[in-house]
């Protein structure tokens, strides 16, 4: 498999997460100091605590996605290793974070790090369990599952517009599909009725091979799309 990764973006965002987290801790410390040492400066302490809390949430957001290893791109590369040189995965170099192009088609891959039981029932996605830390992240760390179906639709639309601009005029764009990847090893999936393929990274490779057998796209169509995108920097 060929891999194209925007390493500069990863390093930049990881650095943003580190700096933001340290800044948040410093501001929160100042707020606490004012609270205990200068009780008459309530407005200042409250302002510092609010700013520190906001920055801490920003730091968690960036840290979870860019500073934690293995990152989503690393987990996807690991799960797809050995898929074949006719596939190329693109991380953070297109309008969607993770794009796979190959005989199985064009896929946007949406990773989620929720633990616990992931369910899809009556048109709604839910994440339950996972312990105290996961519960905290759902409330304060932007780790809510949200609406993957709407996110997937948005990713497909923006990618379609992007590829339409890049491809030669009159080129017929193959169907773009989306798969959800639940990367937390503690995640348990109960999503048999889900409108989108919902998998763990270890199941993704076999799923794509089945798709390539059942709904393959022509090698020429794959090559046209790959030529329009950044070229691979390494093979796995």
pLDDT of residue 214: 82
Burial 187-204 (b: 16+ CB within 10 A, else e): bebebeebebbbbbbebb
For the segment 93-124, what is each residue's pLDDT rounded down to a tens digit?
A: 999 999 999 999 999 999 988 878 888 887 88
In percent, the amount of the chain with pLDDT more than 70 equals 91
- What is this structure's pTM? 0.83
For the segment 41-89, what is each residue's pLDDT rounded down to a tens digit?
A: 889 999 999 999 999 988 988 888 888 888 999 999 999 998 888 999 9
Contact residues for 31 (Cβ-Cβ < 8 A; gap 6+): 45, 46, 47, 48, 49, 52
Task: Look over the chain and give the mean of its residue pLDDT values, rounded to a whole number.
Answer: 86
pLDDT of residue 154: 94
């Amino acid at each position: 498999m060929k891999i194209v990764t925007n390493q500069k973006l990863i390093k930049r965002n990881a650095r943003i997460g580190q700096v933001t987290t340290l800044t948040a801790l410093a501001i929160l410390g100042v707020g606490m100091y004012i609270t205990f040492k200068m009780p008459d400066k309530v407005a200042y302490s409250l302002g510092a605590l609010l700013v520190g809390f906001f920055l801490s949430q920003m730091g968690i957001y960036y840290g979870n996605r860019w500073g934690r290893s293995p990152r989503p791109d690393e987990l996807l590369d690991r799960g797809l290793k050995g898929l074949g040189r006719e596939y190329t995965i693109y991380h953070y170099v297109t309008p969607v974070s993770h794009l796979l192009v190959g005989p199985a088609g064009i896929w946007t891959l949406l990773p989620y790090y929720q633990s616990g039981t992931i369910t899809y029932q009556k048109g709604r996605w839910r994440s339950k369990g996972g312990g105290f830390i996961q519960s905290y992240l759902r409330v304060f760390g932007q780790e809510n599952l949200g609406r993957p179906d709407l996110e997937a639709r948005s990713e497909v639309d923006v990618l379609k517009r992007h590829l339409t601009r890049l491809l030669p005029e009159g080129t017929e764009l193959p169907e773009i599909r989306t798969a959800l990847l639940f990367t937390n090893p503690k995640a348990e999936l109960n999503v048999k009725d889900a409108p989108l393929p919902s998998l763990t990274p270890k199941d993704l490779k076999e799923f794509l091979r089945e798709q390539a057998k059942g709904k393959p796209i022509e090698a020429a169509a794959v090559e046209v799309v790959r030529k329009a995108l950044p070229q691979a920097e390494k093979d796995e």
